[in-house]
Amino acid sequence: MAAAAPSTPLGPFIDSAVAWTTWVTLMGAVGLTTLALLSAGPAAARTAPAALPAVTARLSLAAAVLAVLAVPAVLTDLAHGASKTHGYDYAAAWDTLFDGSNAGRLSGLEVTLSLAGAALVAPLVVRSIAAGPARRWLLSAGLAASSVALGTTKFPTRTPADWGRTSFDTLVWMLHLLGGGVWLGGLAGLLLLAFPGAVPAAGRRPFWSAAIRRFSVTAMASVAGITLSGLFLYWAHVDGPTQLVTTMYGRVLGVKILIFGGLLLLGMVNQFWLHPKIDALREEGDERPPATLLLRRFPLVVAVEVLLGMTLLFVAPFLHGSARNQAFQARAAEQSATPIPAKKLPKLPAKEVSASTWVYGTAETAAVVVLMVGAYRVSGRLARRRTDGTATPATAAA
């Protein structure tokens, strides 16, 4: 409460709401398609082949709907920026698509590839196609289109002076966005599959055990990407922990970090407690009420994770500028004898990457990778120990 006043306002609420809609649709389409391609689809094919068409069709329908909804969301954002009266000029927004500028090309690609991603996965809504050999090719092509559409939001709109730094910054943002899309969109997809009709009751338990285990791999890879890219973005935009409370950027980032921490805690509950128990009960062939209770509790935990993830995406658009610049501009304003217009406030240059930056970054990368791989192995061992500890001698021998 005693911290200095924020140096910049949060910005209009409606702008963040429009940006939130864009992120939810674009990232959701990526996550749902990835789940169908890498986790739920293969799990259904291995444990409950009859459920593969229904699982693929449900996830593909949701991905296609989100990809289509991304188009009006993107156009609304462009219309707000193109309006001269702070309203929404959709005609001007439409004219900016492929208008010859780099920004226009990227906006045009964002809209075009979103529609292409929807068109590619839409045929999989037909269960006969979802069960055929075209399933993997259509999902792969749809995922590629949706991923590039998401990436265009962070591709540079001007020819960079330093191609190396700009390319690295773009790669970091791609890791951040794709990681968030695969993780949060995948959680939403699991919640969709928990509703009746996707998986027959007879194959529900083996399907969920395999699907959760496969999703854990992609989720952990996504969390690793988010963590590493987040550490780099923190280094680039924040000069020390004190700026997390003395600048508006830092305060918003602090809220985002707290929500991300809550998501990680729920993920740990799933990974080290709920998933191993479901695995153990599935291996035992247990049909008692505890097995049903666990399978009912899992969607509830996932629903909370999805809500936290959507809250995280709502907070993110409030991040404007950087904590470094806000703190620097606040000091400059205090030292100036006359008020400085907001557009003329000085800005700090981007941080220079040194040898120590690469050393620390490499060490952080290795630590995060080792931690994620170790966590996945530990959770698998917990499942096997629970299975061995509760199985009969005959099943244990088998």
Average pLDDT over residues 60-79: 94
To the nearest whole number, what is the mean pLDDT of the chain?
84
Residue 181 pLDDT class (50, 70, 90 cuts): very high
Q: List CB contacts of 313: < 8 A, sequence separation 6 or more.
A: 20, 23, 24, 27, 180, 184
Q: Which residue would you say has higher pLDDT here, 87 or 394?
A: 87
Q: Where are the domains of the chain?
A: 13-326+353-397
**CA angle, residues 144, 114, 89, in degrees to nearest 5:** 150
pLDDT for residue 1: 39
Model confidence over 217-265: pLDDT tens digits?
Answer: 898 899 999 999 999 999 989 988 899 888 889 999 999 999 999 988 8
CA dihedral 236, 241, 245, 248 (to 10 degrees): 0
Tell me how far apart the alpha carbons of residues 136 and 265 are, in angstroms, rounded to a whole number. 33
How far apart CA 350 and CA 332 sit, in angstroms, is 18
Three-class SS of 12-48: CHHHHHHHHHHHHHHHHHHHHHHHHHHHHHHHHHHHC
pLDDT of residue 396: 46
Tens-place pLDDT, residues 332-383: 777 766 666 656 677 788 888 888 888 988 999 999 989 888 887 887 777 6
DSSP string of 311-354? HHHHHGGG--S-HHHHHHHHHHHHH-SSPPPGGG---PPPPPP-
Q: Identify the pLDDT of residue 341.
A: 63
Instruction: Please report the pLDDT score of residue 227 as a whole number.
Output: 92
pLDDT tens-place string over residues 16-57 = 888 899 999 999 999 999 999 999 999 999 988 888 999 999
